[in-house]
Every structure is written in structure tokens, then in C-alpha cells.
């Protein structure tokens, strides 16, 4: 039985992983079950081409943001946050304090490489967020169409609240 040893640990993004999986598939002829699942996932969610990913990596490195490591940059490339809020959510998983100014620089750099689908989705999200904040009123009613349950509830409350005002039939004569 072989005893594999780790010689180098390096963080890579999904685009680089897709290339590595292609190399393995070419070398071995096919991937394992786990490799196939990983390839399926990467093909679904990796947004950039390898050349674009390399360029974006270099540009994010050039920003010289303190405490921003390779693993952080690769995660940013994987998720391609389109707003400062999205970037904050991505970076919450790490204990890296980044100033708002640097967050804006990162999102501006990423915005240059965003695919058109992601841009459209970000715009829709912004509209939804503005409606949730009350700047525009949503056209959704929170009251269900069927109000029969309200009538039943009101009738039962009236029965309990109203004292008996009817006289017995004997006293009418």
C-alpha cells in the first residue's frame, strides 16, 4: 500500500481546480466518483475563464491590502461578490479586518470581471433590498385571500363576549 505525503499546500480557486481536473481526466481517462461530482460543481459555478481568473488574481494582489492572503483572494474569485455587502459576507468567515475603503477597491476590481448574468442578478437583488428597506413598497399582500377563518373567529368571540339577552319563552306571555 502506498503512503502518499503532502509536499505542498496551496490554495487554488475553482477555475484552477477545473483545469487540474481536466489534466487528471486526460491522464487517467476518467475521474473517480468524487472527482466527477467536483467537476460537475465547478462547471456549474465557476464564472471566469482561466486567463481572466489569473488577471483578476494579479490585480487583487496589486491592491496590496494588508492581511489579505492567497486563500482570501481565491475565495473572492470563486464567489465574485458584486457589492460591498456581499464581500463582507464572504469575508466574515475569516478573521481579517478590512477597511471599507479597501472593500470598495476590491468590489470595483471584481466588477470589471463580472459576467453579465451576475451583474443582472446583482441589480435585481438591489431592487429587492431597497423594497425591503421601505424605499419602494412591495405589491405583496400579507393577508390571505380566504378570510373565512376571520369570520369564524369573530363569531366565536361575539358568543363569548355577549351575555344572554334573550328571555325564556315562558316569560313572554
CB 47 within 8 A of CB 14: no
Closest-CA residue to 65 (of 23, 110, 20, 125): 110
Domain range annotation of the chain: 10-46, 48-132
pTM recorded for the entire structure:
0.65
- Count CB neighbours of 36 within 10 A: 13
96, burial (CB in 10 Å: exposed 0-12, middle 13-18, buried 19+):
middle
pLDDT in tens, the chain (173 residues): 678 888 888 899 999 999 999 999 999 999 999 999 999 999 998 889 999 999 999 999 999 999 999 999 999 999 999 899 999 999 998 888 999 999 999 999 999 988 776 666 666 666 776 777 665 554 544 445 555 555 666 666 666 665 555 555 555 54
Closest-CA residue to 60 (of 103, 10, 122): 103
Amino acid at each position: 500500500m502506498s503512503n502518499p505525503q503532502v509536499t505542498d499546500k496551496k490554495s487554488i480557486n475553482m477555475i484552477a481546480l477545473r483545469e487540474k481536473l481536466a489534466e487528471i481526466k486526460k491522464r487517467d481517462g476518467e475521474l473517480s466518483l468524487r472527482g466527477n461530482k467536483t467537476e460537475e460543481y465547478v462547471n456549474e459555478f465557476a464564472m471566469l475563464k482561466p486567463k481572466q481568473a489569473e488577471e483578476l488574481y494579479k490585480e487583487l494582489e496589486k491592491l496590496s491590502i494588508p492581511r489579505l492572503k492567497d486563500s482570501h483572494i481565491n475565495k473572492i474569485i470563486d464567489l465574485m461578490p458584486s457589492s460591498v455587502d456581499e464581500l463582507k459576507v464572504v469575508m466574515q468567515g475569516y478573521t481579517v479586518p478590512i477597511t471599507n475603503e479597501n472593500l470598495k477597491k476590491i468590489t470595483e476590481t471584481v466588477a470589471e470581471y463580472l459576467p453579465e448574468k451576475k451583474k443582472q442578478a446583482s441589480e435585481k437583488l438591489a431592487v429587492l433590498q431597497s423594497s425591503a428597506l421601505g424605499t419602494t413598497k412591495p405589491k405583496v399582500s400579507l393577508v390571505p385571500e380566504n378570510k373565512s377563518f376571520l369570520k369564524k373567529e369573530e363569531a366565536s368571540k361575539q358568543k363569548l363576549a355577549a351575555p344572554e339577552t334573550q328571555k325564556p319563552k315562558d316569560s313572554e306571555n
